[in-house]
Chain A
Amino acid sequence: MLRGMWCVRYNGAVLLAFVTVVLAAGPLAPLAAQEPDSARIERLERQIEAITRQLEALQLGEDIVTVADTGVYGFAPGASKVYRVRRGVSIGGYGEVLFEGFAAERQDGSVANVPSQLDALRAILYVGYKFSDRILFNSEIEVEHASTEQAGEVSLEFGYVDYFFSDGVGARAGMLLVPMGFVNEQHEPTTFVGTERPVTEQRIIPSTWRENGLGVFGSVGNLSARAYVLNGFDGIGGGTSGAGGFSSSGLRGGRQKGSKAMAEDFAGVVRVDYDGIPGAALGTSFYYGQSGQSGRSATDPSTTIGGGTLIWEGHVEYRAHGFDARGLFALATVDDVAEINEVKGLTGSASVGERLIGWYGQLGYDALWRTASRHQLIPYLRYEAIDTQNRVPAGYAANPANDGTILTLGVAWKPLPQLVAKTDYGIFRNGADTGLNQLNIAIGYLF
């Protein structure tokens, strides 16, 4: 009974309190909820402002969008300008697959008997890392011909660190691409017409040509330049890098590729480009260095072979209104070739060239330029002449097979800027009448 009476009293007290609260709040509740419209609008505007600022920071980057002093809007002043350095890894790459079909007969009518070939020519991975806004790392790793168990190889094509002194001006060190010509620094299949690189840019500017070194780069207005010091060629061959040395067909064998490169001799290279004409670019580069790497003369071991190597090239490019045109001229000279020949055991027409000359011009036009299509269909032609033994030492002879021309006719289709399918037919002629025509088909990608 007592419990029951207590419950009634307790429950009654609660009920009374509840009723009291309701009665007290009743007339006040609508007043509390009735924020003036103007104040409410102002509050909502501040919230929207804050949200849109945060949205903008997300879109543009928090180091670009400074947090405004929001005291004007009634919030506590931020007064902070946060500079957040973005760091991270980035990845890109490219690749090509190439079919080469050779003619049955050579230029002189003799049977060629060269089998056709379908090759996963190269697959490249770019990996870079940004340490800060001033310092970054870039690298390129290449797999050629699919497998090292077959005819392939895996190489570090470049790997360097950049330091930016200011916008667009900096220094770099590591394994560098030699800044000469078009193809050596820019060899993704979507960036040039033709299934294969010009021969001049394989034998005289021996793409892909990379060596260890350091240098500076920068641009002022429409001029850009870079200047590097690198380990030189191994023109003789047989050194620690495994380079084979120069040959009658050009300088390609002298590349050390940054692999235990002999560094007895160094080289310098300078390149300048001008792009002040809309759609056009022109430039030149100059390389000089000793290539003997302290090799000894075969006839006088007390004499070191210098092998001074000079390469000069000039190039021009025009890409506008559907046209894609390029021209390049390259001249190289090598000193002490007779001594190099002696050490390498080269005689007669197998001599390394003392002077090498090559040039090419190419022209393509996007047949879909005037249409609304996003595809590109580019018929093109390239004419090239190269002579890797334009001059040889006395007592040696030039092999006429190393003096030739190539006329290439083809078409490229790019459904996207990063994809290309190309086919072309190359007509090879040389002084020995051993030229062998070939039909090539290639696909390439870039990401």
Chain B
Amino acid sequence: MAALAAVATPSAAQLRLTQDEALRLAFPPPLSIERRTAFLETEELARARGLAGQDAEIERSVVTYYVGVDSGRVGGYAYFDAHVVRTLAEVLMIVVTPEGAVSRIEVLRFSEPPEYRAPEGWLATFGDHTLTDALSLKGSIINMTGATLTSRAVTRAVRRVLALHQIVREREEP
């Protein structure tokens, strides 16, 4: 990790976006935003964990997500994921298309030193990725030089969200 403060020194917490601001970026008018919550059954949670992979741990069975809707048509799904990068927290919004591909990632909070935060250009490389083996740092996602822990944290979060999204979609579709 390139270091203004010499590798992963603590305490550069920055709130960049609130949830409302992030959702408005994801679903601008005329899209309306619906808040939904899925309470996963034991089997569904186990399946989501299997889909996400060993690295991307899923601990919550209560999944709150936001749906952008325009004239009854779903424009996308937004999920929020909070996780630790090294010792401090990061909060991401990961927007998924109805087909299950990543369409956008926004950083709401990054508490590690700012030079370790994933730049927009790197986050954009997740665009159009679906939940496949290629979605990893050993696949088509290139590690950020000097920010390996951030790279891992974001990649895991994306896999986690896509796995949960798959379960959510299965529940919504009859």
Question: CB within 8 Å of B: which residues of A?
Answer: 48-49, 52, 55-56, 59-61, 63-66, 86, 88-92, 94, 126-130, 133, 136-140, 157-158, 160, 162, 164, 167-168, 172, 177, 179, 185-188, 191, 217, 219, 221-222, 224, 226, 273, 275-276, 278-281, 317-322, 369-370, 374, 417, 446-447
Contact = CB atoms under 8 A, between A and B. Distances in A.
A217 to B, nearest CB: 6
Given A92-B87, A273-B2, A374-B55, A280 B82 contact: no
B149 A417 contact: yes
A60 B80 contact: yes
Nearest to B17: A64
Given A48-B37, A92-B8, A278-B122, A185 B3 contact: yes
B109 A126 contact: no
A278 B125 contact: yes
Interface string B141-154: 01111101100100
Given A140-B6, A162-B5, A226-B4, 13 more contacts: A60-B19, A94-B7, A138-B10, A167-B114, A168-B114, A172-B4, A224-B115, A278-B122, A281-B2, A321-B142, A369-B138, A417-B152, A447-B87
B80 A56 contact: yes
Contacts of B87: 90-92, 447
Given A66-B18, A279-B143, A222 B12 contact: no
Nearest to B22: A64
Contact of B18 (A63, A136, A369, A417): A63
Of the candidates B10, B13, B143, the one having the most CB atoms from chain A within 10 angstroms of its own CB is B10
Contact of B7 (A52, A137, A191, A279): A191
A279 B144 CA distance: 6
A248 to B, nearest CB: 29
B143 A52 contact: no
A280 B122 CA distance: 12
A64 B19 contact: yes
B95 interface: no
Contacts of A94: 7
20 contacts: A52-B64, A60-B19, A60-B108, A61-B109, A63-B18, A64-B17, A90-B11, A126-B9, A130-B12, A138-B12, A160-B5, A167-B16, A185-B7, A188-B7, A219-B115, A224-B2, A275-B144, A276-B121, A279-B145, A317-B146
Interface in B36-55: 37, 55
Given A129-B11, A162-B12, A320 B88 contact: no
Nearest to A90: B10
B119 interface: yes
The 6 residue pairs across chains A and B that have the minimum distance between CB atoms: A90-B10, A128-B11, A128-B10, A185-B3, A278-B142, A281-B145
Interface string B108-142: 11000111010101100100000000000010001
Interface in B140-174: 142-146, 148-149, 152
A446 B85 CA distance: 13
A273 B143 CA distance: 17
B9 A92 contact: yes
A320 B113 CA distance: 22
B82 A281 contact: no
Contacts of B15: 61, 63-64, 133
Interface in B69-89: 80, 82, 86-89
Nearest to A132: B13
B1 interface: yes
A48 B62 CA distance: 11
B114 A64 contact: no
Contacts of B86: 92
A370 B16 CA distance: 36
B16 to A, nearest CB: 6
Contact of A186 (B1, B20, B119): B1
B81 to A, nearest CB: 9
B14 A133 contact: yes
